[in-house]
Structure 1
Amino acid sequence: MWLSEILDRHCQQRPDAPAVVEGEKQLTWRELRRAAHAVAAHLGGLGVKHGDRVAVYSRNRVEVVVSYFALAHLGAPFVPVNHAMSAAEFHEVAERLEVKHVLGEQRPVARLGLGGHQQIVFDTEEFQALLTAEVPASPPAARLDDPYAVLLTSGTTGKPKGVVHTAGALRQMSLSWLAAVEADDRVRLLNLNSLTHGSITFTMHYLAAGATLCLMREFQPRAVLRELERREITHVWLVPQVLRFLMMAVGKDTTVQSNLREILFGASPINPDLLADAMHAFGCDFRNVYGMTEAGGTIATWLTASSPAAPGAPLESSGRGVPGIRVEIHDEHNQPVPSGEMGEVCVLAIGRMSHYASDPTETAEIIVDGWVRTGDVGHMDENGYIHLKARKKDLIKRGGQNVFPAELESVIGEIPDVHDVAVAGVPDADWGEVPVAFVVARAGAVLSPVDIQRFLADRLASYKQPKLVKLVDEIPRNPAGKILRRVLVSRHIDEAVAARTS
């Protein structure tokens, strides 16, 4: 079983090297393996069986990683839940996915109102004692074709789906990623993304390589900058919005002294100006990570052109497919289209998901003839680089013309006084659908909708011009940094719908 194999290999080769670090707490590979076996034995004694789905409801911390390895050892798929999810949302997910038990932090678990037999809390003396307990190692109960996790999708278009992944699929995706990048046991990875959703597969790739995983329970930009030096971090994993906050703490035209080799980002496109400023500040390479939970995690990547590993990579692209994964652009009949022609990004990979939990209809819609239809619209150039334009469900069709929200967002983002922006489509009696731009101004800036529309007048075709520009206080995003367009429109529905008749 892959996760158990990761522990066994590193215990055999480098048992006293640090495996996971969080604050003042650190576990070597020997200690992580021992803790995982102790927690597995404890959970087994509480009735957790092979095949039981167990939710893990917590901020990022050492105990989360231990729990994942322990549950994988038992063959009990873990269901990672973001700690910010409300009790009502949690109960809906738990019922739909048939969750049997819950592990997690005291505060989020307490608000669920569960019986004592259903919950295991990290912040107890009993659980903390397991982290140093000596328990005879038992053979793993799981096989490679058993599910190791049910990962929740981002839920940007509705309720999050449960993506079932097997241990064998994770192994394949880890080997594919490690064949594409230079990762080994010298990597010290600071993960600023939640250990929920598809970010877990990415983290497991680096643990498989023997990297030291560094965690922080709370994101505080200045604390992150201190952690870079304190832990001699070589790699950081984040989303562009988090990088933006870091840069605000760094300051303009300032350089940061560190051991960084790469800053890796994913989940959403990065603003070119932000990338340029960050490259100057940190002096390291930046790697784009394009992935999808259903497709098995990481699909494609590029590294900034300063590296000889990827000279001249088009930074506006999402990169090229990694080894072991076939990426093509397909039409609506699931047939490949010529280079440069628009279509849907489709992925053929051994490491893809098995199915959506309790949802055969949705499974049949996304997996067609073995290909995962990602829902991303774009094209592939003659060198195999993927250029994304929009999510299929976000594409705005105005009078038969396609309007890509990302294109408008990129142009509006060039305005110096714009802090954040999102574009969404609303129904229109004349055109069927029209784009509406929601803009967050920089603190202290004087910015008006008229200013923005004037800026766009000679930069965008007439059919791409937003029917309405609305200044808002914030752009709602999920924990992965993706824009929640439906939430945004619903918050400002009156103004957005008014665009139809203005």
Structure 2
Amino acid sequence: MSERKPWLKHYPKEIPSVLTEEPRPVQQYLREVANEFPDKVAIHFLGKKVTYQELYEAALKLSRYLRELGINKGDRAAIMLPNTPQAVISYYGILMAGGVVVQTNPLYMEREIEYQMKDSGAKVIITLDVLFPRVMKVMPKTNLEHIIVTAIKDFLPFPKNIIYPFKQKKQFGLVVNVNHKGNHHLLTEILKKPVGEEPKIDFDFNEDLALLQYTGGTTGAPKGVMLTHKNLVSNASMCAAWMYKCKRGEEIVLGVLPFFHVYGMTAVMILAIMQGYKMILLPKFDAETTLKTIQKEKPTLFPGAPTIYIGLLNHPNLQKYNLSSIDSCISGSAPLPIEVQQRFEEITGGKLVEGYGLTESSPVTHANFLWERPSIKGSIGVPWPETDAAIVSLETGEHLPPGEIGEIAVKGPQVMKGYWNRPEETEEVLRDGWLFTGDLGYMDEDGYFYVVDRKKDMIIAGGFNIYPREIEEILYEHPDVQEVVVAGVPDPYRGETVKAYIVLKEKATVTEKALNEFARKHLAAYKVPRIYEFRNELPKTAVGKILRRALVDEERKRLDDEQSKQA
């Protein structure tokens, strides 16, 4: 086994290679922890505290209401919320009702919402009041039957709940009033109902879906990743096993990573509820707010993305804040620069290590050790418990020996069931139980894995997965654009940033500003290109395919030349 899985010999004795967690659905953990720690604070949100008993009862009320609205086992219900108590209540309420959660980014514009609702077939969506008009525009074009509305102020303490609507009007320029009637529902009214009993639903732990988490692919079309209760519970259990020094019911987790992203959902929300931790939720990342929150609330666990840690380290007032409560951080979503890791550890006195995963694996498959073993520079670490990994030849499909580069493939209980309604694309990436990640890498003699490149052209900017084809299709809709290719180019803060290379039609005069305004009407802000470059022609293959990689290489060479001159 040590020859086949050389990483196991490095496992500290506290980390099991096989998990012994008793199979039970995701939502059952909330009931259990509410029984164990009823009065313990589960959520701290901008001063508002919600206990585990209150959280469980709120989710239970919502689950019963969803059943009344016609949500039956297997029906999809969407959540379009930032990190708030309502997001957690909605997630567990949908699961208790037997539904399948569809996580939807609250930054999405109408076109993106419409596509996801149509593809998933969601019958209900839970969203914010300020997003209500956006959802209502697309609702007639989808299967949505009901919309449940909440507001940030609904879970703010006094006097913040009085002040916030005025700030909201200033920020968004509107105040939305929704009445609790017809197919419009207010979460505040739902939560006034009596608790009652939890719906009695039989769950197949191995097969029943808990989540449709949308991602993209090489074609750019977002795909619904089917994650079962087993997938999510297994990955959260692996995380708990990896972080073996953490004490049940005692840790405090900082929830900056959005729960509509699978990493935040698993490594913060599900893990915290599974272990009875306290979650400190922030609806969006702001460096100064995060620093103040760390100093005041003293979180011990801080899962994040490199851009979050970079943003804190580069804050001009960093030295004013005490971050010494932070003990453990696993970084995901993008490569973690070694200098960021070292500086963050120096300032906090805690541990920050790099991990690896993808939406299709719930998401984590690898990480460096937090304790006992040093992090390996440039490595994504070793496979987690019950997780197998291999480097596969692109030519022969055979498993390659240490040191040779091929495609990273993983196998384990956290690997998805497949893509929603896409059997052919499922077959492309799931073969004999192995998930082919599309990332190129190698394994060293000790079983540590390294990513060297992405087989796909996906851009990872600020921890968000961005798919060039989607942006290209929007820009192609502009009447002045003849050709366009979008690529990720190096960025010291975001890891990568989105750049669009444009060839205009003859006599076209569109400006960069006008193109940017056009893109912002159709794309979430983080997908909009930060850089535009107008060209007379684009590099192509003999058959006319635009060579995106050539442009990226050209950009990297230009940056290297600039750095050489500065040196």
The CA deviation string for residues 8-31 of structure 1, in whole angstroms up to 9 with x for no partner, is: 221222111111221132221111
Alpha-carbon offset, residue 171 of structure 1: 1.9
Alpha-carbon offset, residue 440 of structure 1: 5.5
Q: 1:70 aligns with which of 85, 93, 96?
A: 93
The CA deviation string for residues 33-62 of structure 1, in whole angstroms up to 9 with x for no partner, is: 111110111111122222111111111111
Contact 1:295 1:374 in 2 (8 A): no
The CA deviation string for residues 55-100 of structure 1, in whole angstroms up to 9 with x for no partner, is: 1111111101111101111111011111111111110111122121
1:151 pairs with 2:216: no
Contact 2:291 2:321 in 1 (8 A): no
1: CA distance between counterparts of 2:455 and 2:27?
A: 38
Residue of structure 2 in register with 1:230 after alignment? 296
Percent same amino acid among aligned pairs?
Answer: 23
2: CA distance between counterparts of 1:189 and 1:34?
A: 22
Residue of structure 1 in register with 2:146 after alignment? 118
2: CA distance between counterparts of 1:387 and 1:495?
A: 38
The CA deviation string for residues 416-472 of structure 1, in whole angstroms up to 9 with x for no partner, is: xxxxxx9x9xxxxxxxxxx99946689xxxxxxxxxxxxxxxxxxxxxxxxxxxxxx
Residue of structure 2 in register with 1:173 after alignment? 235
1:316 pairs with 2:378: yes
Contact 1:21 1:214 in 2 (8 A): yes
Residue of structure 2 in register with 1:346 after alignment? 409
Q: SS of the residue aligned with 2:210?
A: strand
Q: 2:50 aligns with which of 12, 16, 27?
A: 27
Contact 1:185 1:209 in 2 (8 A): yes
Contact 2:77 2:102 in 1 (8 A): yes
1:14 pairs with 2:79: no
Change (3 A) 1:165 1:438: closer
Change (3 A) 1:254 1:33: closer
Q: SS of the residue aligned with 1:340?
A: coil
1: CA distance between counterparts of 2:286 and 2:411?
A: 39
Change (3 A) 1:193 1:225: same
Q: SS of the residue aligned with 1:230?
A: helix
Alpha-carbon offset, residue 288 of structure 1: 1.7
1: CA distance between counterparts of 2:52 and 2:275?
A: 12
* Mapping for residues 211-360 of structure 1, pairs under 5 Å: 211-249=277-315, 256-303=322-369, 307=371, 309-311=372-374, 313-332=375-394, 333-360=396-423
Alpha-carbon offset, residue 276 of structure 1: 2.2
Amino acid at match of 2:209: P
Change (3 A) 1:251 1:44: same
Residue of structure 2 in register with 1:53 after alignment? 76
Instruction: Select between 173-182 and 340-349 the one with higher mean Cα deviation.
Output: 173-182
1:364 pairs with 2:405: no
1: CA distance between counterparts of 2:488 and 2:363?
A: 30
Q: 1:210 aligns with which of 268, 273, 276?
A: 276
1:492 pairs with 2:543: no
Change (3 A) 1:7 1:369: same
Amino acid at match of 1:377: L
Higher strand share: 1
1:99 pairs with 2:122: yes
Any stretches of 5+ residues in structure 2 without a counterpart? Answer: 1-23, 152-177, 181-185, 469-485, 494-515, 520-525, 540-549, 559-567
Change (3 A) 1:156 1:59: farther
1:192 pairs with 2:256: yes
Change (3 A) 1:272 1:231: same
Contact 1:152 1:196 in 2 (8 A): no
1:108 pairs with 2:131: yes
Residue of structure 2 in register with 1:90 after alignment? 113
Alpha-carbon offset, residue 340 of structure 1: 1.0
Q: SS of the residue aligned with 1:310?
A: coil
Residue of structure 1 in register with 2:224 after alignment? 162
2: CA distance between counterparts of 1:36 and 1:119?
A: 17
Alpha-carbon offset, residue 140 of structure 1: 4.2
Contact 2:63 2:199 in 1 (8 A): no
Contact 1:151 1:162 in 2 (8 A): yes
Q: SS of the residue aligned with 1:217?
A: coil
2: CA distance between counterparts of 1:386 and 1:136?
A: 50
1:127 pairs with 2:187: yes
Alpha-carbon offset, residue 217 of structure 1: 1.2
Contact 1:221 1:245 in 2 (8 A): yes
Contact 1:285 1:303 in 2 (8 A): no
Residue of structure 2 in register with 1:392 after alignment? 455
The CA deviation string for residues 196-224 of structure 1, in whole angstroms up to 9 with x for no partner, is: 13222223123212211221112221111
Q: SS of the residue aligned with 1:99?
A: coil
Residue of structure 2 in register with 1:375 after alignment? 438
Alpha-carbon offset, residue 142 of structure 1: 4.8
1:138 pairs with 2:138: no
1:201 pairs with 2:261: no
Alpha-carbon offset, residue 492 of structure 1: 3.1
TM-score by length of 1: 0.77
Residue of structure 1 in register with 2:6 after alignment? none
1: CA distance between counterparts of 2:440 and 2:324?
A: 38
Contact 2:249 2:276 in 1 (8 A): yes
Residue of structure 2 in register with 1:463 after alignment? none
1: CA distance between counterparts of 2:97 and 2:229?
A: 12
User: What is the number of residues matched between the two proteins?
Assistant: 426
Alpha-carbon offset, residue 261 of structure 1: 0.4
2: CA distance between counterparts of 1:252 and 1:58?
A: 29
The CA deviation string for residues 81-138 of structure 1, in whole angstroms up to 9 with x for no partner, is: 1111111111011112212111111122321223795211113784124446431122
The CA deviation string for residues 394-432 of structure 1, in whole angstroms up to 9 with x for no partner, is: 49xxxxxxxxx99xx9xxxxxxxxxxxx9x9xxxxxxxx
Any stretches of 5+ residues in structure 1 without a counterpart? Answer: 396-404, 410-421, 425-434, 443-472, 477-482
2: CA distance between counterparts of 1:133 and 1:237?
A: 35
Instruction: Select between 54-63 and 149-158 the one with higher mean Cα deviation.
Output: 149-158
Q: SS of the residue aligned with 1:60?
A: coil
Amino acid at match of 2:330: L
